[in-house]
Amino acid sequence: MWPTKLRTKGSRWAILGLLLFWVVFKPLALLSICAYQRFVSPHKGWRCAYAVLHGGASCSSYGKEAISHYGILRGTLLVWDRLQDCRGAAITLAATSSHACDNGGNNCANGCTRGCTGGAPGVPTKSPPVSAPSTFVPPSPDAGRYRRFGWVDPEDPDRIHVGHDYDAPSQTPVRAIADGLVIDVRRHVRDFGGSNPSKAGPLMWIRHRTSTGEYFHALYGHAKPSVRKGQWVSAGDVVGAIIPFYDGQDAIPHLHLGIWQGKKPLPAQQLGYGPGRSFVDPVEFMQTHQPGSFRR
């Protein structure tokens, strides 16, 4: 056994080492990514293969968001996995482009780069940038029978509905309203309703951005998630499916969409009803703002 004094001293040095690692390496990693995006990426002659094939953010943007949100250790692991996926996307694109060249000759419309942009046979060069949609994508159909933002319980004036309920059948796909990063996925949240009176309900938090660069978080509630924490999504991607929500008396399946404009931490309670705090009207927000993109 190590003496208690030595063990305590060693623990202190370990904590100081971790703090130093966190304080020094995270800013350096983010600074390196920013430098790459500003001075290297615009001149390298090709776009991120993953973004070209699947849409969404480039690997550098993904890395910056992942390290900013999850820290240097977990963020680095996420970036490594993403780079492996990007390598696979590059192989797929090269094979597709080569097939187009073999069948279409010097035809840019078919994906061939011979004689079109000066690229090597079957290897795409610069692609035109993909812009974000000009409007938000509706997350679900809405028959309009359920509660809107701001509804007040007549028996409890402090119980305010802090989202918009999209009235749609059970198993209706739920779509991302814009490009974003999945921040949290929970399947059993107390006091948030579920498929029967004894169960809690599922939700997803996805971080989005407006065209002016303002970040906000969207709460997708009463929907079975089909995405995982840390996953990037593009506008219109299916992120879940509406469940047969039970209100204690009847099954009323719907999607509860909340828009949180406040800074983190995100609220953990009173996600359906409660004081307004930084929740805003989702319908009005999507009508008065335009979505931004995480792409570079």
**Token pair listed for 189:** 């949240």
- Is residue 131 in a domain? no
| Residue 185 shares a structural domain with residue 254 | yes
| Residue 212 shares a structural domain with residue 93 | no
| Residue 195 shares a structural domain with residue 280 | yes
Of the candidates 35, 15, 22, 31, the residue with the CA atom closest to the CA atom of residue 72: 22
Of the candidates 205, 225, 176, the residue with the CA atom closest to the CA atom of residue 57: 176
pLDDT tens-digit series, residues 203-261: 999 999 999 989 999 999 999 999 999 899 999 999 999 987 766 566 788 999 999 99
Does this model's pTM top 0.85? My answer is: no
Residue 180, beta-bridge partner list: 233
Contact 179, 294 (CB under 8 A): yes
| Residue 94 shares a structural domain with residue 180 | no
Provide the b/e sequence for 176-203 (b: ≥16 CB within 10 Å). Answer: bbbbbbbbbbbeebeebbbbeeeeebbb
Task: Give the SS3 label for residue 185.
Answer: strand
Give me the CATH number covering residue 166.
2.70.70.10
- Is residue 22 in a domain? yes
- pLDDT over 90 (residue 120): no
| pLDDT for res 29 | 81
- 263-270: list long-range contacts, CB under 8 Å, 24+ apart: 266/183, 266/184, 266/205, 266/217, 269/191, 270/162, 270/191
- pLDDT over 90 (residue 179): yes
Domain-ending residue, one of 60, 88, 110:
110
**Token pair listed for 162:** 């802090």
pLDDT tens-digit series, residues 49-62: 877 766 667 888 87
- Is residue 137 in a domain? no
Contact 254, 168 (CB under 8 A): yes
Highest mean predicted confidence (pLDDT) among 89-98, 118-127, 142-151: 142-151
**Token pair listed for 136:** 């938000």
Of the candidates 137, 224, 241, the residue with the CA atom closest to the CA atom of residue 185: 224
- Is residue 128 in a domain? no
